[in-house]
Amino acid sequence: MNNPRLAIRYAKSLIDLATERNQLDEVNNEMKFLQAVCKGNPDFTAVLRSPIIPEDKKNKIIESITKGRVGELTGAFIKLLGVKNRESNLPEIITSFIAQYNQVKGIHKVKITTAEAMSEEMKEAFIEKIQSAEDTKNIELETAVNEKLIGGFVLEMEGKLVDTSIQRDLRDIKKQFMNNDYLHRLR
């Protein structure tokens, strides 16, 4: 069940505790691992959210996945979620934790989608441009490839979207033709 307020509260508590114990970066890495598990295995998320599967089985599954891969603090936090019957909210809590961590550390997440894979030089150039335009130093760049863009790129940063793709240009031209705007301009 999606409950953003609950996710924010639990994530904030974990951030505060990790900061207090000087383990914030370690816990963040563990949360990224858990996020990869949740995204890479939809069955795991389905198990967490299933009201049919008993809590003890859920806890055993979580423990088998996290054993040796997460520290004491993260392990205790996950057990607390189990005790409070909140393990179904784990994916949202993880997402909220990472967002709050990025805010605390001043990290700005940027996603660039291109038609072809970007070279390292191109990635560095994008990071430099974004840093100078946004006056920020910490950029976490995520790249994706979508051949349907044909050319150009789509940049997403903190709710902003810049679409310079050829696909968007063609879509705009098609929309103009469909609206018959060109006929009125010829007269």
What global pTM score does this model have?
A: 0.80
Which pLDDT does position 137 carry in this prediction?
A: 85
The per-residue pLDDT for 187 is: 53
β-pair type (153-157, 107-114)? antiparallel
Looking at 21-54, list the stretches that DSSP marks H as alpha helix, in order from N- to C-terminal side. Answer: 24-40, 42-49
What pLDDT is stored for residue 50 in this prediction? Answer: 92
Q: Where are the alpha helices (DSSP H) in the chain?
A: 4-20, 24-40, 42-49, 55-66, 72-83, 90-105, 120-134, 166-178, 181-186
pLDDT at 24: 97
- Assign 135 to helix, strand or coil: coil
**Which residues of the chain fall below pLDDT 70?**
1, 181-187
> Per-domain residue ranges for the chain?
4-103, 107-186
Cα–Cα distance for residue pair 49/63, rounded to 1 Å? 16
The CATH code belonging to domain 107-186 is: 3.30.1330
For the 4-103 domain, the top CATH level (class) is mainly alpha
